[in-house]
């Protein structure tokens, strides 16, 4: 297929595809799916070999958010039955992080719900960052705390943070349909603040919220322009009790095409399969590793993920290897300010749960059986999944 040959050539040269080419990837048929994955895989292997980076989420504060993001189980007015708790103490967060690091993660992502941190919150998170770094000197730490005020990114950097995550989530044209309590421009500003402070910037998207192909291409092109080191690709978890609970538009094939489009537009950045991979990719998760070079290990913010052991087995069975703490994620030309050794986490939800056998729904039925609210790890007395 001439389109795929062109996109591979451009990806190896870090040349931006045209919008029409990006849209054409999303429009390819299921008959061409393996060709699309193979082409994206050539670009992925050129820049990242067969390494898979593992990241681990620590939810420092869960629920009770004043923002109205329609996709989020922690939003204002959410009726989702999630865990709700206030800030973890530094020693509690460090203990939770240790489980992920023991499972092979090289980056810990510290996430807190809310519009953005107060100066006191930044002090609190800074203490947690220092505590984690004291016990695990080679770990990368990313913060995801919402909108940043002037000077806060610099303080996080001084405390030892390597990266900051703040997702664009969707296109500028449709952002107001998803969130009304802050703007798309607010999010762009926070990514700029993180970059300016020398932090490795991470920003991604959420697919499956009813957006068009044009919206997906718009947000990915915007992420390329922001020059984020990492682009996490989340697939919507339609939590009961949120406005988007009925949005079930994704298939495994659609998810793979979206990941491939992101890889072609952002060939040399860390592309992470983030929230919703278990729910929407399902048995095709290993194919996604041929496109993306990064995943989360274990559970997510408010939902349970695939068992950590299963993640490691999947990586090995697919012929990939876990990226070691002594390996640098990004290609040499991208290693500049901040840590730039890889990239951080995404504020997102994920799915996947073990249980008794049940009838398999048809391809057209929503897989609500896979949405499992997190009941272990941070904020509970049960050990985390890693």
Active site residues: 65, 69, 72, 109, 142, 202, 272
Among 20, 19, 28, CA closest to 1: 28
Angle formed by the axes of helices 19-26 and 213-226, nearest 10°: 130
Cα dihedral sign, 313-314-319-324: negative
What token pair was written down for 308? 């950590």
DSSP 314-339: HHHHTT-EEPPTTS--S-GGG--SS-
The reply to whether 69 sits in an annotated binding site is yes
**Backbone phi and psi for residue 239, each to the nearest 5 degrees, phi listed first:** -65, 135
Name the DSSP letter for residue 298: S
Task: Give the distance from CA 150 to its chain's centroid.
Answer: 25
Q: Which residue has the tokens 């700029």?
A: 192
The reply to whether 354 sits in an annotated binding site is no
**165 - beta bridge partners?**
202
The reply to whether 109 sits in an annotated binding site is yes
Cα separation, 7 vs 362, whole angstroms = 34
Cα separation, 51 vs 315, whole angstroms = 9
The reply to whether 202 sits in an annotated binding site is yes
Greatest CA separation for the chain:
55
Cα separation, 87 vs 162, whole angstroms = 21
Cα separation, 379 vs 386, whole angstroms = 16
* Sequence ranges of the binding site for [2Fe-2S] cluster: 109, 142, 202, 272
* Sequence ranges of the binding site for [4Fe-4S] cluster: 65, 69, 72
* Sequence ranges of the binding site: 65, 69, 72, 109, 142, 202, 272
């Amino acid at each position: 297929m001439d389109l795929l040959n062109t996109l591979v050539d451009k990806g190896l040269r870090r040349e931006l595809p045209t919008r029409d080419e990006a849209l054409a990837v999303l429009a390819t048929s299921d008959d061409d799916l393996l060709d699309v994955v193979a082409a994206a895989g050539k670009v992925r292997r050129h820049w990242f070999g067969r390494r898979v980076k593992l990241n681990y989420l620590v939810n420092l504060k869960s629920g009770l958010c004043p923002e109205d993001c329609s996709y989020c189980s922690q939003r204002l007015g959410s009726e989702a039955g999630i865990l709700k708790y206030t800030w973890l103490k530094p020693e509690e967060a460090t203990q939770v992080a240790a489980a992920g690091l023991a499972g092979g993660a090289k980056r810990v992502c510290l996430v807190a719900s809310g519009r953005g941190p107060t100066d006191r919150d930044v002090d609190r998170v800074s203490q947690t960052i220092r505590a984690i770094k004291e016990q695990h000197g080679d770990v990368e730490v990313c913060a995801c705390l919402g909108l940043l005020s002037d000077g806060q990114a610099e303080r996080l950097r001084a405390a030892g943070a390597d990266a900051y995550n703040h997702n664009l989530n969707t296109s500028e044209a449709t952002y107001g349909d998803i969130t009304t309590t802050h703007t798309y421009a607010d999010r762009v500003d926070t990514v700029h603040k993180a970059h300016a402070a020398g932090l490795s910037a991470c920003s991604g998207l959420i697919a499956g919220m009813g957006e068009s192909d044009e919206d997906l291409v718009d947000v990915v092109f915007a992420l390329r322009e922001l020059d984020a080191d990492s682009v996490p690709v989340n697939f919507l978890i339609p939590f009961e009790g949120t406005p988007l609970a009925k949005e079930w538009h994704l298939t495994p094939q659609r998810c793979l095409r979206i990941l491939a489009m992101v890889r072609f537009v952002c060939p040399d950045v860390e592309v992470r399969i983030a929230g919703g991979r278990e729910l929407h990719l399902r048995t095709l998760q290993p194919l996604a590793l041929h496109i993306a070079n990064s995943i989360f290990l274990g559970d997510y913010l408010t939902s349970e993920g695939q068992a950590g052991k299963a993640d490691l087995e999947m990586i090995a069975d697919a012929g990939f290897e876990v990226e070691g703490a002594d390996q640098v994620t990004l290609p040499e030309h991208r290693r500049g300010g901040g840590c730039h050794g890889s990239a951080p986490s995404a504020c997102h939800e994920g799915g996947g749960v073990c249980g008794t056998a049940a009838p398999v729904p048809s391809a057209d039925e929503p897989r609500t059986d896979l949405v499992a609210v997190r009941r272990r790890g941070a904020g509970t007395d049960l050990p985390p999944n890693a």
